[in-house]
Structure 1
Amino acid sequence: MNQYALVTDIGGTNARFALYNLVTNELSAITKVVLAKNDVLLTLIKDYLIAQSVKIDMACIAIACPIGDEDTVIMTNNDLSFSRSELIKQLNLTKLEVINDFTAVSYSIPKLPKQDLVQIGGAEPDLNHPIAIYGAGTGLGVSHLINVNQQWISLSGEGGHTELPMTTAEEDLILAQLRKKFGRVSSERFLSGNGIVNIYQALLQINNQSVEDITPDIIVQKALTNSCPICLQALTHFCTFMGRFGGNLALTLNTQGGVYIAGGIVPRFIEFFKLSPFRSAFETKGRMSYLVKKIPVYVIIHKDPGLFGAGVYLQNSLK
């Protein structure tokens, strides 16, 4: 058996590639590619393997979309698609696993060292209970872990495409603006990079200001420097919505094992996030508030939990 396997973490904006050492459980040769409209996954993989001067016979593709039994896998937030059988044939693979990107993130969690986590509230986790994982990036990913006979099993799903309830009059106005734009408004329309922009632009409309094109990075930067009141308002709403959504996940499976936040957005403003209404929104669950107050929330600051988790998943599948 080849010591190295290929692992990928393919999101709506970036594709990450690495070699996973099946003996030492370590990642190496991590490479990030910004996806272009006409990119072909097989070509990206071949280019990566040529650059590393390595041959592999196993791979785990973690990708941001629903995974079924079909041969063709089609992404949700960009135009990338691929055929499993073609990858196996063209790369001469003996084993190919294809999993949701947040399934991969979830498998990293039991193996992450404490220095890769920042705790925000709650007590100690009870690992006899389930764990929830979610995260905002190009989209909103969701997964759960349950412990079955001392083995963690991931429950994948598309929870980012559920609806997010509003609880204040101002939030109702934001939702009304997004309904004009999207019709049905999923949680992902609030909790993603584009979600920050959606909230900001809705606030501009509510305040009778002209809507401008802007990136989430600029909104975050202006909020952190307190140089734009509406940017600050937008980022605060984002943190509040993250808390409410996470608390809903915690209640759904009573995740006393903890709630983990992944994705590339929150780690960029972790100190702001700690001081935001996030935890209050997480815990404000009426008669069930006492239940979620105990549940710890962790922000994952490991740079590549999806790649690492893809390797763990592949390794587990060999046992």
Structure 2
Amino acid sequence: MKLALVGDIGGTNARFALWRDERLESVRVLATADFTCPEQAIARYLADLGLAPGSVAAVCLACAGPVSGEHFRFTNNHWRLARTAFCRELQVDELLLINDFSAMALGMTRLREHERLQVCPGIAEPGSPAVVIGPGTGLGVGTLLALDDGRWQALPGEGGHVDLPIGSLREAALWQQLFSQLGHVRAEDVLSGSGLLQLYRAVCALDGHAPRLASPAEVSAAALAGEPVAVEVLEQFCAWLGRVAGNNVLTLGARGGVYIVGGVVPRFAAFFQASGFARSFSSKGCMSGYFEGVPVWLVTAEYPGLEGAGVALQQALASAL
């Protein structure tokens, strides 16, 4: 059998790897800005490995946004893709496009124990859905289901665009401040890299502080250094992530657990574990008891999206036999 290739494509970077014998090989990260289209980036990736077009029989790409039809436009970068032209140019027999958080959810099936940190104790309930949620460039949300035949199913969605929930008078005041700036306030408007800076500015405006920090990295660094305003902002970020994750657990009956993924939260893992996330996660009034025993993990794996793309491709090829 020829090689297979998997990709996890974001706004800034495209990660590619070969998929052989159910494992990743030759992972490379390329900047999307350096290429006009995914075909060009993949051709460069293959050339760097000494492989020509036609060396790869099947490709699975994990892409942000709803995936359907012949044409796909990437939501966070300038790339576009036409399935037929893609396969012709790269001499590929099979192309599978999946939602990036479907890939992320499937990637949870490949985690090793040292690639996750416990945030809330518990035991995943067999047969129940699991929630996969992650602040990054935006806020991704996916659902993972174990099927009776041993396969896995990931349910895509656009859960990052739900309304931002309010659980306290302070959050109501912050929501009003955000609303005055944004109009409709989505969870993603706070729970993302840029959202952290948006939240910092809202706190400063509400409390009359002059904003001194100019990037999400500066906000998180200042919080870890103990700067009071930044500490409050990062704590509120964690609390709001808890509320959104908890809402998903109730909606889906997700007693299979919650996986916190993405590039933002691992940067302040210890702060997150000690934050009010767990309290906000389970603070649901008469339904608070539902959360007893629901585990939450912070995922630290390096390439879960690529691993999930490999699982998706493997399952798709197996079902076609």
TM-score range, shorter chain: over 0.9
Q: In the alignment, is the contact (CA less than 8 A) between 2:110 and 2:307 conserved in 1?
A: no
d(CA) in 2 for partners of 1:94 and 1:283? 47
Partner of 1:187: 187
Compared CA separation, residues 116 and 236, structure 1 to 2 (3 A): same
1:104-156 per-position Cα deviation (integer Å, ceiling 9, x unaligned):
01112222221111111131111221111111100111111223324321111
Tell me the CA shift for residue 234 of structure 1.
1.0
| SS of the residue 2:120 aligns to | coil
| Structural RMSD (CA) | 1.6
Partner of 2:41: 44
Tell me the CA shift for residue 274 of structure 1.
0.5
Partner of 2:277: 278
1:306 corresponds to 2:305: yes
d(CA) in 2 for partners of 1:232 and 1:14? 30
* Amino acid in the other structure paired with 2:33: A
Within-5 A mapping of 1:1-319: 1-2=1-2, 4-21=3-20, 23=21, 25-36=22-33, 39-54=36-51, 55-68=55-68, 70-150=69-149, 151-211=151-211, 214-226=214-226, 228-319=227-318
**Identical counterparts, % of pairs:** 36
d(CA) in 2 for partners of 1:224 and 1:47? 40
| SS of the residue 2:5 aligns to | strand
Q: In the alignment, is the contact (CA less than 8 A) between 1:73 and 1:81 conserved in 2?
A: yes
TM-score (structure 1 length as normaliser) = 0.94
Tell me the CA shift for residue 78 of structure 1.
3.1
| SS of the residue 1:231 aligns to | helix
d(CA) in 2 for partners of 1:164 and 1:33? 33
d(CA) in 2 for partners of 1:36 and 1:212? 30
* Amino acid in the other structure paired with 1:139: G
TM-score (structure 2 length as normaliser) = 0.93
Structure 2: any 5+ residue segments left out of the alignment?
none
Structure 1: any 5+ residue segments left out of the alignment?
none
Compared CA separation, residues 40 and 119, structure 1 to 2 (3 A): same
Tell me the CA shift for residue 175 of structure 1.
1.6
* Amino acid in the other structure paired with 2:223: A
Mean CA deviation greater in 202-211 or 296-305: 202-211
* Amino acid in the other structure paired with 1:51: D
d(CA) in 2 for partners of 1:292 and 1:249? 12
Tell me the CA shift for residue 209 of structure 1.
3.3
Tell me the CA shift for residue 75 of structure 1.
2.4
